[in-house]
């Protein structure tokens, strides 16, 4: 089944109503949607019979561990494997994901490359990083569904995907390879913030913010700063029943500093009712960057929710 429409109309259990009615067995959605369900609370998932589900999927962006665990407990009722998939439109198929029932999973990790797929994490020089290291996610061998060119622009294809590292397809994503060889995708490398010469991943800060019990969803961007080069700016939506207050902003900043370090402490945190998303559920960070730097908003033609700009 394909679902198109608002997940909160006519009620906030719309997705679960569809699953219950049609006995859906596989549910595949984005971490953004999962965090929205977390914001609304478990009462909506508990109203419906989700026992037909046997497999859960995650797609579109890295899933933070807290959202993974909530998904596992409240949607899968701790009975369904979660297949966190990493892939791109350009790759034509899933590239990194656990094999359900075979690959041991870790909340927040896409785990291992699919059979026949060769993926690695490399440093600036294109050398594989040691286990426990971070770097750039690349594909090192051809795969059946790979793209061959960009329509009528073969040079753009070569420049975009093959010029950064010789003989490797550069995905544009940063990643970490843990001690077990598992892949932890950290988001687009152009989403990295350079604070006083230190590189800070936006996904890492967002995950720390969402771990706080008051926060349902977070988006982090870097804005220009006279002294630091860039400063961390965060936008958050709060869980139901939580009120925004200066004390909460201070607590969130301290929480990030404690989890990651003082350099990652947000310069400012802005609370909003909704974050700007495309129709596929991806947060439009360039619009948030426009707001943080006081610029006129860019193209909003793909924006899904018109009320996202309203502050708490």
CB crowding 63-102: b at 16 or more within 10 Å, else e: bbebbbebbbebbbeeebbbbbbbbeeebeebbbbbeeee
Whole-number pLDDT of residue 57: 97
Whole-number pLDDT of residue 301: 58
Give CATH 3.40.50.980 domain extents, the chain.
14-84
Whole-number pLDDT of residue 304: 55
Please say if the pLDDT value at position 302 is more than 70. Answer: no
Residues 86-102: tens digit of each pLDDT = 999 999 999 999 999 89
Residues 172-185: tens digit of each pLDDT = 999 999 999 999 99
Fold entry, domain 14-84: Rossmann fold (3.40.50)
Residues 46-86: tens digit of each pLDDT = 999 999 999 999 998 889 899 999 999 999 999 999 999 99
List the single range of 73-77, 167-171, 262-266, 279-283 with lowest mean pLDDT.
279-283
Please say if the pLDDT value at position 191 is more than 80. Answer: no
Give CATH 2.30.38.10 domain extents, the chain.
119-181
Whole-number pLDDT of residue 308: 52
Q: Rounded to a whole number, what is the distance in angstroms from the first to the last CA of the chain?
A: 35
CATH class held by domain 119-181:
mainly beta
Please say if the pLDDT value at position 303 is more than 60. Answer: no
- Which CATH architecture fits 196-292? 2-Layer Sandwich (3.30)
In this prediction the pTM is 0.77
Could you give the CA distance from residue 188 to residue 175 in angstroms, rounded to a whole number?
9
Give CATH 3.30.300.30 domain extents, the chain.
196-292
Please say if the pLDDT value at position 227 is more than 90. Answer: no
> How many whole angstroms from its chain centre is CA 156?
27
Residues 117-175: tens digit of each pLDDT = 999 999 999 999 999 999 999 999 999 999 999 999 999 999 999 999 999 999 999 99
List the single range of 95-109, 174-188, 201-215, 218-232 with lowest mean pLDDT.
218-232
Over residues 14-39, the mean pLDDT reads: 93
Whole-number pLDDT of residue 202: 84
State what percent of residues in the chain have pLDDT above 90: 65
């Amino acid at each position: 089944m394909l679902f198109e429409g608002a997940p909160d109309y006519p009620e906030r259990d719309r997705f679960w109503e569809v699953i219950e009615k049609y006995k859906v067995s596989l549910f595949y959605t984005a971490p953004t949607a999962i965090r929205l369900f977390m914001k609304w609370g478990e009462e909506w998932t508990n109203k419906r019979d989700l026992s037909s589900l046997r497999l859960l999927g995650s797609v579109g962006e890295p899933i933070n561990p807290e959202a993974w665990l909530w998904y596992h407990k409240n949607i899968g009722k701790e009975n369904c494997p979660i297949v966190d998939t990493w892939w791109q439109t350009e790759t034509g198929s899933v590239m990194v994901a656990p094999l359900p029932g075979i690959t041991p999973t870790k909340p927040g990790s896409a785990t291992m490359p699919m059979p026949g797929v060769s993926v690695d994490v490399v440093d600036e020089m294109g050398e594989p990083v040691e286990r426990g290291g971070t770097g750039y996610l690349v594909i090192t061998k051809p795969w059946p569904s790979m793209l061959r060119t960009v329509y009528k622009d073969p040079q753009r294809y070569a420049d975009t995907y093959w010029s950064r590292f010789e003989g490797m397809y550069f995905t544009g994503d940063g990643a970490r390879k843990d001690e077990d060889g598992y892949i932890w995708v950290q988001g687009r490398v152009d989403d990295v913030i350079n604070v006083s010469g230190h590189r800070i991943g936006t996904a890492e800060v967002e995950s720390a913010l969402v771990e706080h019990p008051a926060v349902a969803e977070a988006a982090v961007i870097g804005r220009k700063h006279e002294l630091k080069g860039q400063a961390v700016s965060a936008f958050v939506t709060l869980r139901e029943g939580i009120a925004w207050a200066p004390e909460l902003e201070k607590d969130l900043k301290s929480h990030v500093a404690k989890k990651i370090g003082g350099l990652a402490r947000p310069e400012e945190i802005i609370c909003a009712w909704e974050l700007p998303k495309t129709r596929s559920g991806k947060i439009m960070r360039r619009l948030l960057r426009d707001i943080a730097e006081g610029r006129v908003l860019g193209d909003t033609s793909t924006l899904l929710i018109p009320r996202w700009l309203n502050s708490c």
